[in-house]
Amino acid sequence: TVSVLYWRLEHQLRCDRTTMFARTAARRYFKSNKHLGYSNPARRWVNHQVFAGIVLTWFGVVSASYAQAKYAPVGEERFAGSLVEIFITWMPAAFLSRFYAELIDSEFLPAQGQRMLIRWYGGSDEDFERYKTLPAYVKRDFEPDSRPVHPKAYYVAPCDGTVLSCVEMTQEDRPQLVQVKGHHYPMDSILRTRPTLTPRGYKRYSTVIQLDREDVHRVCAPTEYDVSFSTHIPGTLLPISLGASRWMRQLYLTNERVALFGKPMWGRPDKSGREPVLGMALVGGLCKGRIRMDFDERVVTNIEANLLAAVRRMYQNCHLNRGAPVGHFEVGSAVVMLFDTPYDAIIEPGQRIKMGQPIVASGPVQKQAAA
């Protein structure tokens, strides 16, 4: 029996020597060669199906994990496991987003492709004829009457979008950003600066506003704003959405962003010298294009592959009026805010808001949905 097996193995090696030790021609690699035995390496379709099976199985595992997090009941968030987080973090998300940003703003994408993207973002054929590309459409100009800036509110919405969270700060020493209920992290990690303690007579809030496809992807000053500095913080570009915020831990800490920090010009220091602060962070996302500052053309994200450290730029006499342009997304993502106000915020999670709409009461009223 051993002799017979040895003879059959020797015969198989002698017959398949050219197949086993020679490089397969490119034109023959994708042939099925079904007439050959399963052990013959020339039967390439076995390799293809095994590889495709592994990829599809892993895709199913990741999709199931995301679906569980997205549709889990409120208060029962199910974050991705450590293995899935490692896989997602190691994906070339920044490269894909950079390639996508270059593609949608270039002539290599056919006109029909640009037309389909503009339609996907709520546009029409007339919008395509006017703007030609998706970045030009999403940062389009709008009629002032469509988004009037409230003249009396302490703060107005800096952009269109959906409110993901709005929480009053309770920890005076280190303000926290609540990503979802029960999961938060320090706000100074988002802004890369430590805010002072909340002045007496003020309340401190943090909020996250996610821009949707149909929105205008521009950001304005929520009040009379004195910008002290901006910080371009490098990072990856994971997807930004309500489901992703319930799926990935420290989502806003991981992504590339531009943080602005300053103070409202109407603010007055309390008896201990503490002044109200206003911080904003424009956060990038997967395949969401670039972020550009309107008051400082040097600040552009998703363009440098070798940015290893945060870049801070200081400003003097950088005063922005209420509703003045701050920056824009070339296909946008989310805006994070930290602000001090003497009155209550009047926005709630899940609420749709438009740029210029009041998010803080102009007087001592009870918390309610903004008009």
What would the pLDDT profile of 45-62 be if each residue is shown by its tens digit?
566 677 778 888 888 888
- For residue 237, name the pLDDT band (cuts at 50, 70, 90): confident
**Which of 3-17, 167-181, 246-260, 354-368 reaches the highest mean pLDDT?**
246-260
Average pLDDT of span 170-182: 61
Tens of pLDDT, residue by residue over 120-161, are 888 888 888 888 888 888 888 877 778 888 888 889 999 999
Q: What amino acid occupies position 255?
A: N
DSSP-derived 3-state class of residue 30: coil
**Where would I find the H helices in 226-268?**
242-245, 251-254
Chain position carrying tokens 């209550």: 344
Q: Are strands 225-233 and 183-186 parallel, antiparallel or unpaired?
A: unpaired
pTM over 0.85: no
Q: Residue 158 has what pLDDT? A: 93
148, β-bridge pairs: none
pLDDT score of 369: 41
- Compute, in degrees rounded to 10, the torsion defined by CA atoms 60, 83, 307, 95: -20
Rg of the chain, C-alpha, whole Å: 27
**Average pLDDT of span 330-336:** 84
Q: How many whole angstroms separate alpha carbon 101 and alpha carbon 128?
A: 18
Averaged confidence pLDDT in the chain: 79
Query: Of 15, 18, 38, which Cα lies nearest the Cα of 7?
Result: 15
Please report the pLDDT score of residue 223 as a whole number. 92
- Name the CA dihedral angle for 8, 12, 13, 18, rounded to a multiple of 10 degrees: 170
Residues 6+ apart with CB under 8 A from 192: 231, 233, 259, 310, 312
pLDDT for position 370: 39
Is pLDDT at 210 greater than 50 in this prediction?
Answer: yes
Of the pLDDT bands very low, low, confident and very high (cuts 50, 70, 90), residue 270 is confident
Q: Residue range 323-327: average pLDDT?
A: 91
**Residue 199 pLDDT grade (very low, low, confident, very high; cuts 50, 70, 90):** confident
Q: What is the DSSP string of 40-56?
A: -TT-THHHHHHHHHHHH
237 within 8 A of 302, measured Cβ to Cβ: yes
| 288/192: higher pLDDT | 192
Q: Percent of the chain, pLDDT > 90?
A: 16
What does the pLDDT read at residue 11?
59
pLDDT number for residue 104: 82
Angle at 275 between CA 333 and CA 339, to 5 degrees: 20
CA distance 331 to 264: 28
Most confidently predicted of 38-47, 185-194, 293-302? 293-302
Tell me the one-letter amino acid at 126.
E
Q: What is the largest CA-CA distance in the chain?
A: 99
